[in-house]
Chain A
């Protein structure tokens, strides 16, 4: 049937619309489910030197970031940056993520550097993989786990959205302040799972951050081989005075942790699939699937309205 060739377009339009609506309504960005980063499986040690051949030869996903413009202080310039990402897992249960981005200035703390802002990068994970938390550092109900890397070489494990729902006793048991006073908190020493290796040369930061996949700490997600997790990225350019809320951030992306059992063909397929969807998204209009796109749009609005209505009339009253 002719129409079947256009069906993916409609679906894409619908997805794009949902992403838009959900994004605007501050829930989540569905794009995360479609674009992917593959953590390759390695037998034995993963090289941690960012300049090693291993990382240099690995294919990297290019993730776009934009200056956040939701909370004060705004970065001001609506500039776009990119971070190139690769990842690896191994049989010893280590996850390593390679981040590489262009930054003509190396901003690191120096003696007396009271107006120096170090360059920083962060990767964000949902604490629970059931549904996607709010992209901007989670919410009370859905906290996010963050690894913050700071030049020249420091990695911290943080929690944001900070599980406000917990009782003071629960929080104290987790080594947090009994009363949450900050939207983002440093986890106690036993939950500091991330470490890093970093190099800056010729205007490029190359950073490897790594952690054991398993976690016994409630607010650090435990990861397993073969699993898909959502990730989001952030960068700070110190030379532009960026720190805290002044940063650029990405949408959610999928990080697939390969396992030894996973047949390689399947993996490639996933990658191509996600890429196709990405492309289709941008070419939807030029290919002229307007009618169907419109249909998708209308269906999307209907679905959304129904969902909201269902939520308001069915779910909400029960919560109260």
Chain B
């Protein structure tokens, strides 16, 4: 069965860590009692612990799926795990701003103390959703990042002075969502028309098994309503062809939104793949929207023509599937996440020899990927279930594009003269131009088909 999925790519090199996305999402969706602590969109500094604290550590939280004798099992079904608590998130607070205006005239400047949004009492602020921003927290938070796995202890000490990048996160609207599978009331559903994962508020009874089961900790319990909530991919906007709030307001223009077609039947099998193949096989699930057979099957499955049309112009299709420069976040959680990341290149540690020529660390003109500032291992742990080759491949292509344009702009070469750099990396001049338009100019970042309610796909009967 061919299905359409609305999806997002974030180009991490462009994120400036401004948190505008988090704030605009909050202002639109979670600026109310019960969700004070919830950040459907949050931005983390890496290396760091993220929000909630060390959410990636499933030994602690029990999120996602594990493979047992070739079968997928929810990790929460295998052992008792801790529910994330206020300590893992934070106690939301504001300041006594009024005091700044109303205080009596004194020698000292008036100051506004933090007050809890829960109790209205003064509190001592210990932690917040971005307390380790820009590597604040240093020796406490940096080593606690689970993505150092497989690297030497001494290494992060060295690297902490060298690299840092931002990781914005929303719900991944997974193809194999563990939040959905964990709900005994079947309150969570994946919309058949665009794959957005939603929690039915009339059905949810606040069991919070989804909170535990989501390995990305992107379900937030609302203590006021007694029900759980999550990112809705701004579906009311999507349905009218508008980008989600976080994408629209993104200052760095790092977010790309589009549709991909995929083979629903094979999703489960892919979720069971060996770790090293998870990225490749997830890519394999995405179908070619130009293939007449795919188009026919999509139409048969009720995918409207405007979705098929959008899938052909989808930046997600090109970046994840065709060019292989985008990667899923923690594919080893086996939920098949559908928000992708173009990994950060960060500055190259350039090594020129005495004569000003590129040193031996260069592969032809492209620097050896392992000489980039961010350790490949670290990125592979984060975006490729440890498969370093996937990361190398993506970074090499990004470098090839730069080199291609450098040769044209700086060395005055023609496109055909410089094309070999691309070809070496499996790209064409046309690819390079498309990438340039998207990545550098940020044009046409959103290709969003309007909803075809009249063609609504009926979910097959369950239970």
- Decide: A181 and B463 in contact? CB cutoff 8 A: yes
- Decide: A244 and B77 in contact? CB cutoff 8 A: no
Using Cβ atoms and an 8 Å threshold, which residues of chain A touch B205? 243-244
> 1/0 per residue A237-251: CB within 8 Å of B?
000010111000000
Using Cβ atoms and an 8 Å threshold, which residues of chain B touch A115? 83-86
> 1/0 per residue B283-317: CB within 8 Å of A?
00000000000000000000000000000000000
- In the docked arrangement, what's the CA distance between A179 and B462, Å? 8
Q: Which of B33, B208, B459 contacts A179 (CB 8 A)?
A: B459
- Decide: B226 and A118 in contact? CB cutoff 8 A: yes
> 1/0 per residue B189-231: CB within 8 Å of A?
1000000000000110111110000000000110110100000
Q: A114-B37, A184-B185, A244-B205 are in contact. Are A164 and B463 (CB under 8 A)?
A: yes
Q: Within 8 Å of chain A (Cβ to Cβ): is B44?
A: no
- Decide: A241 and B83 in contact? CB cutoff 8 A: yes
> 1/0 per residue B69-85: CB within 8 Å of A?
00000001100100111
- In the docked arrangement, what's the CA distance between A118 and B206, Å? 10
Using Cβ atoms and an 8 Å threshold, which residues of chain A touch B83? 115, 241
Using Cβ atoms and an 8 Å threshold, which residues of chain B touch A117? 208
- In the docked arrangement, what's the CA distance between A185 and B220, Å? 22
- In the docked arrangement, what's the CA distance between A184 and B92, Å? 34
- In the docked arrangement, what's the CA distance between A125 and B80, Å? 33
Q: A111-B223, A118-B226, A244-B205 are in contact. Are A180 and B86 (CB under 8 A)?
A: no
- Decide: A186 and B462 in contact? CB cutoff 8 A: no
Q: Within 8 Å of chain A (Cβ to Cβ): is B89?
A: yes
- Nearest-CB distance from B208 to chain A (Å)? 7
- In the docked arrangement, what's the CA distance between A77 and B226, Å? 26
Interface centre among B118, B207, B462 (most CB of A within 10 A): B207
Using Cβ atoms and an 8 Å threshold, which residues of chain B touch A150? 226
Q: Within 8 Å of chain A (Cβ to Cβ): is B119?
A: yes
- Decide: B206 and A112 in contact? CB cutoff 8 A: no
Q: Within 8 Å of chain B (Cβ to Cβ): is A70?
A: no
Q: Within 8 Å of chain B (Cβ to Cβ): is A73?
A: yes
Q: Within 8 Å of chain A (Cβ to Cβ): is B187?
A: yes
Using Cβ atoms and an 8 Å threshold, which residues of chain B touch A180? 461-463
Using Cβ atoms and an 8 Å threshold, which residues of chain B touch A110? 223
Q: Which of A71, A116, A184 contacts B223 (CB 8 A)?
A: A116
Q: Which of A112, A183, A185 contacts B91 (CB 8 A)?
A: A112
Using Cβ atoms and an 8 Å threshold, which residues of chain B touch A164? 463
Using Cβ atoms and an 8 Å threshold, which residues of chain A touch B209? 73, 244
- Decide: A243 and B223 in contact? CB cutoff 8 A: no
- In the docked arrangement, what's the CA distance between A244 and B92, Å? 28
- In the docked arrangement, what's the CA distance between A118 and B462, Å? 30
**Can you give 10 A-B contacts (C-beta < 8 A)?**
A109-B223, A109-B226, A112-B91, A114-B84, A114-B221, A150-B226, A180-B461, A181-B463, A243-B205, A243-B208
List A residues at the B interface (Cβ < 8 Å): 71-73, 76, 109-118, 150, 164, 179-186, 241, 243-245
Q: Given contacts A116-B223, A243-B205, could you give 7 more A-B pairs where the C-beta distance is less than 8 Å?
A: A111-B224, A112-B37, A112-B119, A114-B37, A179-B458, A181-B463, A244-B207
